[in-house]
Amino acid sequence: DIVMTQSPDSLAVSLGERATINCKSSQSILYSSNDKNYLAWYQQKVGQPPQLLINWASTRESGVPDRFSGSGSETDFTLTISSLQTEDVAVYYCQQYYSAPWTFGQGTKVEIK
């Protein structure tokens, strides 16, 4: 199984400041035949189901604010919130969809400092 490890577990950032979440996979999730990284990012607010933010490591979902961006390749990935807003308080998960069983990171809780 591919293990997804996020860091940090929690993060407190001032309003308007940058938040950076890292995600590391235990093996490469870059598929060589199409040069795509099989990685998604989700946001989960309290009491709600997850919401897809980013797929293919860097493709922002329609309607997701452009302050959210994804980057990285092979085994190391980053979700960046360029200017943290109150509504961004949530837990963020990375997920690999390269191979079954599809696995998630343990989550990173983002709070306002």
Partner 1 sequence: EVQLVESGGGLVQPGGSLRLSCAASGFTFSSYWMHWVRQAPGKGLVWVSRIKSDGTSIIYADSVKGRFTISRDNAKNTLYLQMNSLRADDTAIYYCARPKEVTRAYFDLWGRGTLVTVSS
Task: Give me the phi and psi of 13, to 5 degrees please.
Answer: -130, 145
Residue 60 CA to residue 74 CA, distance in Å, equals 18
The least distance separating partner 1 from the CB of residue 102, rounded to whole angstroms, comes to: 5
Asked if 73 touches partner 1 (CB under 8 A), the answer is: no
Structural contact between residues 5 and 29, judged by C-beta atoms closer than 8 angstroms? no
75 to each of 21, 23, 46, 71, how far by Cα in Å?
A: 14, 8, 29, 11
Asked if 107 touches partner 1 (CB under 8 A), the answer is: yes
* 86, burial (CB in 10 Å: exposed 0-12, middle 13-18, buried 19+): exposed
Asked if 63 touches partner 1 (CB under 8 A), the answer is: no
Q: Which of these ranges, 20-28, 68-76, 77-85, 96-104, lies near partner 1 under the rule CB under 8 A?
A: 96-104
Member of 25, 37, 55, 58 binding partner 1 (CB under 8 A): 55
Shorter beta-carbon distance to partner 1: residue 82 or 97: 97
Shorter beta-carbon distance to partner 1: residue 59 or 85: 59
By CB under 8 A, name the binding residues for partner 1: 38, 40, 42, 44, 48-52, 55, 61, 93, 95, 97, 100-107
